[in-house]
Structure 1
Amino acid sequence: MRNHAKKLLILLTMGLGIVSTNSFAEADVVKLIAQEHGQTALLLQRIQETQAKQMKDLNAKIQIQLKQIKDDSDKAIKTVNDQSQAQLKKVNDDLMAKIKQVQADCVKASAANAKPNA
């Protein structure tokens, strides 16, 4: 870490146009690097927390939308089933009415056939 700090110190002083490398103490450079590292770690932690919150919020929105889709789907299925049941009942009632009519016609025909010819 000290060698890295020395190299960084030299680069910083060259980049800033500082001729003397004695303007910063080696310990100060190490301290600055540690502070930057800590700030970077803190920033990374905040980014991760923000991303986690955004993912949680997005997941909640998706769950709400999925529930709405399921509810809409269940409602549509119930409506179709109810309509099908109503149509089946109507067809059944119509068939029963025709069967009763045929039975009544058979009774009339049977009664007409049972009369002696006059």
Structure 2
Amino acid sequence: MALQVDMIAGSRIEVVVTPLGRQLSHIDGFSAATIMGDGSVMLILDLVALMRNVSNIAKVEQQKANKTVKQAHKPVVLIVDDSVTVRKVTSRLLERNGYEAQVAMDGIDALEKLQEMLPEAIVLDI
């Protein structure tokens, strides 16, 4: 978190702090307000609340990023079998358990698919 101060109004100032009204109380990061000697309104920062909000936002963003990474990467399994039934049953079982299933009808088909992808596992019969 960074805070930029435009200017320091003086080294000794008497400040009368008043709570924020209904119009401004919903704004995060401000705890109160005061009226300066020239009549201008000065909002008083609540630095602890600002740091807490920034920390919470960072945690939420990190959780979203972690969730996206977990969802994005499903392990790929290549199923090689000449039986349509075995391919369908095995691929459905793997997909229900969080895998991405790719199928090949035979060894030649499997070799062609391996040119385009690199699976984490290959399921095949002899």
Query: After TM superposition, is the score higher than 0.5?
Result: no
> TM-score, length-normalised on structure 1?
0.36
Higher strand share: 2
| TM-score normalised by L of structure 2 | 0.34
Give the structure with the larger helix fraction: 1
